[in-house]
Amino acid sequence: MRLTHLCVAGTVTLVVAAVTACSNSTYGGGSGGCTPTATQVCMINTAYSPTPLTVTHGTTVTWMNGDGFAHTVTNDAGSGETFNTQVGAGGTFTHPFNTAGTFNYHCNIHSTMHGAIVVN
Ligand SMILES: [Cu+2]
């Protein structure tokens, strides 16, 4: 008769993987705690979202930085609106848009970051 060793099942080793690939934000990765709204642009994963954002003239637009590092909100050359602000992790910046038009902007730190505000 064979002697059977009964292995005690249930010794489950949980491997807690340190996920770094998708957490470039100190605010939880992904949305970074920022939710885009009708008047708010999020800076998430080194991009503006949404873009373009369309608002009615007289609207104050808020940018929130959901990333864990700084961005800027800087008007493109020739834009009818002038702003240039560095926004740290978790920070916000607001700018009122009182004139209709399309206003392009970018991040001075990351050359791939471009956005637009369309004002009706
Ligand atoms: Cu940036």
**Ligand 1: distance of its center to the CA of 93 in Å?**
14
Structure tokens at 120: 């009706």
Specify whether the CB–CB gap between 22 and 30 falls below 8 A.
Answer: yes
**Ligand 1: distance of its center to the CA of 48 in Å?**
9
Confidence bin at 30 (pLDDT 50/70/90): low
**Ligand 1: distance of its center to the CA of 109 in Å?**
5
Pick from 2-11, 38-47, 107-116: least confident:
2-11
**Over pLDDT 70: what percentage of the chain?**
75
**Chain position carrying tokens 């808020």:** 62
Pick the CATH number of 1-120 from 2.60.40.420, 3.40.350.10, 3.40.50.2300, 3.40.50.300: 2.60.40.420
Strand order in the sheet with 71-75: 53-55, 114-119, 101-106, 71-75, 84-87
| pLDDT tens-digit map of 53-98 | 999 999 999 999 999 999 999 999 999 999 999 999 999 999 999 9
List Cβ neighbours of 106 (8 Å cut-off, separation of 6 or more).
72, 74, 76, 113, 114, 115
**Ligand 1: distance of its center to the CA of 19 in Å?**
23
Specify whether the CB–CB gap between 41 and 115 falls below 8 A.
Answer: yes
pLDDT at residue 15, as a whole number:
32
pLDDT at residue 31, as a whole number:
74
**Ligand 1: distance of its center to the CA of 97 in Å?**
22
**DSSP-derived secondary structure for 76-96:** PTT-SS--EEEE-TT-EEEEE
Structure tokens at 87: 């926004």
Confidence bin at 7 (pLDDT 50/70/90): very low
User: Which residues hold their Cβ within 5 A of ligand 1, which is an ion?
Assistant: 71, 107, 109-110, 113
Residue 28 predicted with pLDDT over 50: no
Residue 118 predicted with pLDDT over 60: yes
Q: What angle do CA 102, 82, 78 make, to 5 degrees?
A: 60
Domain ranges within the chain, ordered by starting residue:
1-120
**Ligand 1: distance of its center to the CA of 98 in Å?**
25
Q: What is the pTM of this model?
A: 0.75
